[in-house]
Structure 1
C-alpha cells in the first residue's frame, strides 16, 4: 500500500445530500472507489462560515467563532488555539506546498490564517476548478489542497434546494470536479492522494430557499474519501460529522491532531 503523499478536499457548497438525485458521473465513480456517507451531519448553525470553519479548524462554531460576517470583514488570528488544518500541516512540514481555491472568497480571506504561506485563489467555479487543475499539474509536490465550489448553494438560494435547477448546478459541480480529477490522473498523483469530497450544508428545511436550521434537509450532508488505505464501501462506525474531516486530514499526513480539536477519526476508515 502506497503512503499518502497529499490530501485534496473538494467541497460542494450547499449540496447537502441532494447529490443522490443528480447525474454525477465523477462522484459516482469515486463512490465505487472509496467510502462515502450520505447521511453525515454538519455543524450548527448550518451556515457556510460556521460549517467550513468546523471542517478547517476541527472544532464546532462555538469555539472557532466564525460567521459569514466575521469571515467577510477580518482575518482569522494566526495565534488562535484552534488552528486550521493548513496551520497544522505547515508546522509539521515547513516547506510544504499548500493551496486553497475558493469560489466564496471569505474562506481564503477570513477562515484560513493569513500568514502561513497558503497559495490562495478566488474566482468563479469553472475558472477556479481549471486553475486548481493547472496548479496540480505545476506542483506535483503539493501536500494539501482545499477547493470550494459555490454553484449548488447559489442555485439553492435562487431557485430552492433539491429542485431541478439546483440539481443542475450540482451536476455542474461534478463536471468541474472532473477537471481536478483529470489533472490528478494525468499526472499520476491520484494513486497516492487522499481525496475527500464533502458538502458544508444542505437547505430547504425551514425555508425552501435558505438554510441555517437544524432540519435534516439543512443538516444532512454527503462525505466521502478515496485513497491508499481506504477500503471500498467501508461502513463508518457512528455518525460522521463535518468537523471530523480535520482528524482525517492529519491522520492521512502522519500528523498528530492538536489537543484543542474536537474532531475525531472515524473508526474503521483507514485499514491498519
Structure 2
C-alpha cells in the first residue's frame, strides 16, 4: 500500500512546541509511585498556556525498578523529572506486545497493536523494509503528521537502525531524521538541533539499557551502569534546556519506555511478566504540575500489579504519550488513534 503524498516539507526551525518523552523504570511498592519531594517544585515555570516545543524521549528497555534501585544518587536526573514534574513509575505498555517496534509505533500513532480493533498492526521487531500502513491495511496517521499539518517542524533521533521504518512510513512529515548507534553522539545531535533550529516536536530514542539488558541481563550491574549513563545524558539535555533563555520557558520534556526487562534475563518478550509490561511516564517543563499522574488524573486507574486489557477504566499507557504530546502543543489528537483520543491525560 502506498503513502499518499499530502505533506510538504516545512522550513526547519519554526518557533513552536517541543516535548521530551523519556522512558523510566522502577517503583516504590506495588503502586510504583514514590511520593514527590514537595520542596523541589519551586523551579517549575508557569508561562504560556502551551509550551513552544516538546521533546519526546523513549528510553528503550528501562525497567522502573532500576530507578528506585539506583536512587537519587544513581539517577539524579530521572528523579528530578519525577520530583519536579508529573509522573508515574507504574504505567503500562501496549497489551499485545512488550517489544520495541510495536510499542514505539504505538507512541507515534496513539494506537494499540491489533489491527482488527483499530490498531497499527505492527507485530514485528525488525525493519521489514515496508511501512506501518501496510501492516494496518490502511493509511495510519502519526504525531509527525499532525504537527506537520499545523505548519510546524518535526525531528526524529534514533539509536537503532530499524527506526528507518518510521522515516519510510512518514517521509514528508519527519523534517529531520538522525541515526547514531552511540547514545552520547545522538544526544549531542539533539542538543545541537535544540539550540540552533529547534523543532516543535522532537522524538528521541535511547537504546543503552536495552542493549545492555540483552547482552548481560536486565537489572544486572552492567545494565544498571547503562541506566546511569542514560541518566547523565538526560542531565546534559536538561542543562541545555535550562541554560538557554529561549528554551527554558518554552520546552516540555516527557519520558517513557517501550518495555522493561526481567531480573537477570536477557529477553523481554513475555507480555504477562510485570517486569516487562511496567514502564514510566514522566512530564517536566513549563506549566507542568508536579505530582503523581494517577492522583492528577482520576479518569485513569492505577493498575497496581495488574495487567488490564483495553476494556474498562484504563491505566496510563506508553502509547498515550502521542496524544499527550499533541495536547501540550495545543493540537488535537492523532486521527484514528485509540489510546486517549479524548486527550484526557493532563499534566498541567
TM-score (norm 2): 0.71
Q: State the alpha-carbon separation in 2 of the partners of residues 36 and 156 from structure 1.
A: 24
- Closer, same or farther: CA 66–268 of 1 in aligned 2, 3 Å: closer
Q: State the alpha-carbon separation in 1 of the partners of residues 127 and 278 from structure 2.
A: 23
For residues 69-218 of structure 1, what are the structure 2 equivalents within 5 Å?
69=125, 71-77=127-133, 80-93=138-151, 96-107=152-163, 109-112=164-167, 113-123=170-180, 124-140=182-198, 142-188=199-245, 189-204=247-262, 208-213=265-270, 214-218=272-276
Q: State the alpha-carbon separation in 2 of the partners of residues 38 and 12 from structure 1.
A: 13
- Contact 1:101–1:132 (CA under 8 A) maintained in structure 2: yes
Number of matched residues? 266
Are 2:309 and 1:252 aligned? Answer: no
Give how far 1:111 is off: 2.4
> Which runs of 5 or more structure 2 residues have no equivalent in the other structure?
1-46, 302-314
Give how far 1:19 is off: 2.2
Residues 19-28 or 119-128, more deviating: 19-28
Are 2:99 and 1:47 aligned? Answer: yes
Q: State the alpha-carbon separation in 2 of the partners of residues 171 and 187 from structure 1.
A: 25
Give how far 1:227 is off: 2.3
Q: State the alpha-carbon separation in 2 of the partners of residues 127 and 259 from structure 1.
A: 34
Higher helix proportion? 1
TM-score (norm 1): 0.90
SS in 2 for 1:258: coil
> Which runs of 5 or more structure 1 residues have no equivalent in the other structure?
none
Q: State the alpha-carbon separation in 1 of the partners of residues 334 and 257 from structure 2.
A: 24
- Contact 1:58–1:263 (CA under 8 A) maintained in structure 2: yes
Q: CA RMSD in A?
A: 2.1
Question: What residue is the counterpart of 1:4 in the other structure?
Answer: 51
